[in-house]
Amino acid sequence: MKHLLLSFLFFLSFSFIYAQDNYKDSILAYQHSYIENHGVVKGDEHQYLHFFAPDEIFRVTARFEKIYDAPWFKMPTSANEYQVHRVYGILHFSIHDTLLSLPVYQSQSLMKSKQYADYLFVPFTDKSSGEESYDNGRYIDLLLKDVETGSCILDFNRAYNPYCAYVTGKYSCPIPPRENDLPVAIHAGEMRFGKSH
């Protein structure tokens, strides 16, 4: 019986390590694809794209609270323009035993696009913003189907920088609202661009 229990514990620990390695490999593959297919950073400048090491602590299961009939509002952008969004819902989760929430937005213009009609937008800043990560925050993409069950996987290892992080004055990037400022450091996802602009 003792040997059987030890074998079972070994199997569980092996499975856990394998799952962790599998997840890490999937994030590294995502990062490689992100770099190779980047819309702005090309060629030799790929070397300036950096990421935090994949960390499964920052892949959380969040409870999704749908917000019905939220008003449309103008979200400021880096170009002193506005993009019209509404709060589609709120994600509730915890990191390092800290309870957190993030509003999720829906774009009025993208709703009219056949390609992006089911697109949801999660901008955020955190305690790493302006230090290890981009000053004006990072983004995470979700789809309507990701939240339809009332919960979703929120993976900060897939957080990415807006185009404004690489080029000044060329793009109009939404600035995360104050409600999307997290009181913790998110050491996951894309880091600050390694070249000044």
Separation between Cα atoms, residue 184 and residue 56, nearest integer Å:
16
Contact between 70 and 88 (Cβ < 8 Å): yes
Q: Which residue's entry shows tokens 């189907």?
A: 145
Joined together, the tokens standing for residue 152 give 């979703």
Predicted pLDDT at 12: 38
Give the distance from CA 122 to its chain's centroid: 7
Question: Which residues, other chains included, contact 168 with Cβ-Cβ below 8 Å and sequence gap of 6+?
Answer: 197
Confidence label for 20 from pLDDT (cuts 50, 70 and 90): low
Question: What is the rounded average pLDDT of the residues 12-41?
Answer: 81
Q: Which residue's entry shows tokens 């213009």?
A: 109
Separation between Cα atoms, residue 96 and residue 86, nearest integer Å:
29
Predicted pLDDT at 147: 97
Q: Using one digit for the tens of pLDDT, what is the confidence trace for 139-179?
A: 999 999 999 999 999 999 999 999 999 998 899 999 999 99
The shares of helix, strand and coil residues in the chain, as percent rounded to the nearest 5, are: 30, 30, 40
Q: What is the pTM of this model?
A: 0.88
